[in-house]
Amino acid sequence: MPIDSWSRQELGFVRVASCAPDLRVADVEYNVQQICAALADAATVDVQMVVFPELCITAYSCADLFYQDHLLQAALAGLEQIATATALNFVSCIVGLPLRVAGRLYNCAVLLSAGRIIGIVPKSYLPTTGEFYEQRWFTPGDRALPATIHLAGSQIPFGVDLLFVAEEMPGCVVGIEICEDLWAVEPPSGRLALAGATVLVNPSASNELLGKADYRRDLVRQQSARCLAAYLYAGAGAGESTTDVVYSGHCLIAENGTLLAESTRFQLETQLIVADLDMQRLDHERIKNSSFSQAVGAVDLRRIPFTLPNAFAMAAPLINRPLARTPFVPADPARRADHCREIFSIQALGLAKRLRHVGARAITLGVSGGLDSTLALLVTVRAFDLLGLDRSGVIAITMPGFGTTARTRSNAEQLALDLGVTLRTIPIGDSVRLHFRDIGHDETQHDVTYENAQARERTQILMDVANQVGGLVVGTGDLSEAALGWMTFNGDHMSMYHVNAGVPKTLVRYLVAWCADELFTGTTAAVLHDIIDTPITPELLPLGANAQLEQKTEDAIGPYELHDFFLFHVVRYQFAPTKVFFLAQQAFAGVYTDAVILRWLGVFYRRFFAQQFKRSAMPDGPKVGSVALSPRGDWRMPSDAVSALWVAEVERLRQ
């Protein structure tokens, strides 16, 4: 079921742009034309709000020309022309101009929408160091005297205490600071955010110096993170005066620490960057963040309503923001390698600390030749190395059963041999058959009893051998299995330390690949790569003809890449099923049909709710990312919570 374009706004998306237009110093007519042309271009891609650079109507570098009444009057006339253009193009905007108020001159940013001047914010911090001389011309914003000024036939709110609230989307609240304000010790945007601003805009005229762009980028990104907000930065372009400095047109759009879009610097033509902001995501971040909720917000700010054009009522394209198909796995190989290195270190150190605390010099873990047990074994070996313990204290136990293949058994044995750990082979067939006789279960009935009896027998062996050697049992199950409950309660569900508890299945594969490429060579690396290529299976059902594998996990519960996508957006951002589906549609376009996505989304919600009781009894294990399901940390959920509300929405989408 396709979701129509109108629902994009209902799902919390706002399309914004940051623009550095081609300008001429003091040529107001030309500048207004370029700004209006940029608004028209923005409208063609369904942008709802555009931020332009500081003093863009006149250009920033006019210097003593700011004293010219003729220039100031032309700027006011140009402001009204741009206001009219917002109505013609159905786009709101923030522009900058010098404004004379009560005998003082202010460097101002103005919000325009639906043909009207909505409000005016003067700049708070005026730099007068190095190449900047703003206090020569302008008055700081905190000395703004009237609360409103008469302009274009109306009384317009004026001051540094303004918040602009979108009537069509109350969660979209715009706060404005100007250039140097961001560089101050306490930027105004912090106060604005605590008062409710979710979209912070900065019309700027920051010139270029060696290394300054990196610092500026970090400022924007980090301020968006500190404020749990979106941050739109529009820097003056190459049209500014180059008498002593050069301006590059650096434009940035960030959201809660993530850079969504960035312009190409040092271009002569107009630069326009576009991104979709997720207001629901920001709202979730704020209500979840206790530091934000405990901070004292300003109560004396004025909230000014404005019309946010509904550009998404038109035939809008796909959302314009980074959307990873595998949100737990960075696409960039270098960044992915850094993540794997960090996660592997977290896992190994967590286990090493636990071993040192209890004084254990031995552990047991089951090795199946699959991804999860392989990663757990590699982590355990690293933990032993950190502690200076002999690897022979790692008791790797392979427990062939009714569904064990020669490939997985061979890989497990070879890996144990290469790593120098102690390998024990304990077949479980006879003991499980005896158990079947004890409980009166027909061995030909391949049901949940048949499968779980094997899983619990393996866990019993691991626990008892751990007692024999005075060690701990290291668990192998991962985060995705915990989310879906794809584990046997009091079987592989249980251990004395679960090193993979915070690692989702899609990332396990890359962690093993990183180990193969970075830590090992020769036969060990070859074995690891073969394990990566092995189908995911619990090996609990008998093999088919020619000893071929019959049981594949993803055939039963669905693709892990889908479930990990669902897990990330359901737990990390608490998105509703409709939004999760909307995002999955776009992330997996051409890979899965809508029907397939909805089928497995329904399975995800049913299993996620029904299997909470297993997560409520999870053993200890390290958190490695922003999504975790430990009942002692990130996820507290009643084991008897009902999934009906969520499943009903999925079913509605399927109709």
Q: What is the pLDDT of residues 56-93, one digit of tens each?
A: 999 999 999 999 999 999 999 999 999 999 999 999 99
**Which of 284, 313, 342 is the last residue in one of the domains?**
313
Give DSSP secondary structure letters for 54-119. TTTTT-GGGGGGGG-HHHHHHHHHHHHHHHHHHHHHT-EEEEEEEEEETTEEEEEEEEEETTEEEE
Would you state the structure tokens that stand for residue 54, as one six-digit string? 């500081």
**Residue closest to 108 by CA, chosen among 97, 116, 119:** 97
d(CA 391, CA 160): 65
Active site residue: 54, 262, 285, 539, which one? 54
Residue 50 neighbours by CB under 8 Å, 6+ apart: 16, 17, 18, 19, 38, 39, 42, 91, 92, 93, 94, 272
Q: Is residue 325 part of a domain?
A: no
Residue type at position 216: R
The SS3 call for residue 483 is helix
Do 158 and 275 sit in the same domain of this protein? yes
- Of the pLDDT bands very low, low, confident and very high (cuts 50, 70, 90), residue 315 is very low
In this model, does residue 424 exceed pLDDT 90? yes
**The domain containing residue 474 runs over which residues?**
333-654
Would you state the structure tokens that stand for residue 401, as one six-digit string? 């059963």
Backbone angles phi, psi at 650, to 5 degrees: -65, -45
Would you state the structure tokens that stand for residue 462, as one six-digit string? 């691991």
- Of the pLDDT bands very low, low, confident and very high (cuts 50, 70, 90), residue 6 is very low
Supply the pLDDT for residue 546: 59
Supply the pLDDT for residue 200: 98
Do 296 and 350 sit in the same domain of this protein? no
Number of domains in the chain: 2
The SS3 call for residue 413 is helix
Q: What is the pLDDT of residues 280-291, one digit of tens each?
A: 999 999 999 989
Do 552 and 593 sit in the same domain of this protein? yes
Supply the pLDDT for residue 28: 98
Q: At what angle do helices 644-654 and 594-610 cross, to 10 degrees?
A: 170
Pairing relationship of beta strands 92-101 and 104-113 according to DSSP bridges = antiparallel
d(CA 418, CA 522): 10
| Range of lowest pLDDT (17-26, 177-186, 227-236, 396-405) | 396-405
- Of the pLDDT bands very low, low, confident and very high (cuts 50, 70, 90), residue 7 is low
- Provide the CATH number for the domain around residue 560: 3.40.50.620
Beta bridge partners of 475: 498
Active site residue: 36, 56, 179, 340, which one? 179
d(CA 190, CA 219): 13
Q: What percent of the chain has pLDDT over 90?
A: 85
179 among known catalytic residues: yes
Active site residue: 19, 62, 108, 123, which one? 123
Q: Is residue 328 part of a domain?
A: no
- Provide the CATH number for the domain around residue 215: 3.60.110.10
In this model, does residue 9 exceed pLDDT 80? no
Q: Is residue 326 part of a domain?
A: no
Do 155 and 277 sit in the same domain of this protein? yes
Do 279 and 352 sit in the same domain of this protein? no
Cα dihedral angle (361, 364, 369, 370), rounded to 10 degrees?
Answer: -100
Do 451 and 515 sit in the same domain of this protein? yes
Q: Is residue 176 part of a domain?
A: yes
Q: What is the pLDDT of residues 616-645, one digit of tens each?
A: 999 999 999 999 999 998 899 999 999 999
**Residue closest to 111 by CA, chosen among 201, 33, 43:** 201
In this model, does residue 332 exceed pLDDT 60? yes
Do 357 and 270 sit in the same domain of this protein? no
What is the rounded average pLDDT of the residues 334-355?
97
Do 284 and 249 sit in the same domain of this protein? yes
Supply the pLDDT for residue 316: 46
Question: What length is written for the chain?
Answer: 655
Supply the pLDDT for residue 548: 57
Residue type at position 324: A
Q: Is residue 244 part of a domain?
A: yes
In this model, does residue 409 exceed pLDDT 80? yes
- Of the pLDDT bands very low, low, confident and very high (cuts 50, 70, 90), residue 188 is very high
What is the rounded average pLDDT of the residues 458-482?
96
Q: Is residue 1 part of a domain?
A: no
Would you state the structure tokens that stand for residue 560, as one six-digit string? 């892990």
Q: What is the pLDDT of residues 242-263, one digit of tens each?
A: 999 999 999 999 999 999 999 9
pTM: 0.91
Q: Which residues in 554-566 are b (16+ Cβ under 10 Å) and which e?
A: beebbbbbbbbbb
Do 293 and 426 sit in the same domain of this protein? no
Do 577 and 634 sit in the same domain of this protein? yes
**Which of 269, 284, 313 is the last residue in one of the domains?**
313
Would you state the structure tokens that stand for residue 510, as one six-digit string? 């890359």
In this model, does residue 547 exceed pLDDT 80? no
In this model, does residue 510 exceed pLDDT 60? yes
Would you state the structure tokens that stand for residue 409, as one six-digit string? 């058994």
- Of the pLDDT bands very low, low, confident and very high (cuts 50, 70, 90), residue 123 is very high
Q: Is residue 321 part of a domain?
A: no
614 among known catalytic residues: no
Supply the pLDDT for residue 112: 98
- Of the pLDDT bands very low, low, confident and very high (cuts 50, 70, 90), residue 403 is confident
Do 306 and 345 sit in the same domain of this protein? no
**Residue closest to 116 by CA, chosen among 138, 86, 73, 74:** 86
Is residue 496 within 8 Å of residue 618, measured between CB atoms?
Answer: no
Backbone angles phi, psi at 555, to 5 degrees: -70, -30
Q: What is the pLDDT of residues 138-169, one digit of tens each?
A: 999 987 678 999 998 999 999 999 999 999 88
Do 195 and 259 sit in the same domain of this protein? yes
Other beta carbons within 10 Å of 72: 18
**Which of 285, 313, 341 is the last residue in one of the domains?**
313
Supply the pLDDT for residue 314: 44
Q: Is residue 396 part of a domain?
A: yes
Backbone angles phi, psi at 259, to 5 degrees: -80, 120
Residue bearing the bigger pLDDT, 553 or 632: 632
Side-chain half-sphere of 18: how many Cα atoms within 13 Å? 31
Average pLDDT, the chain: 92
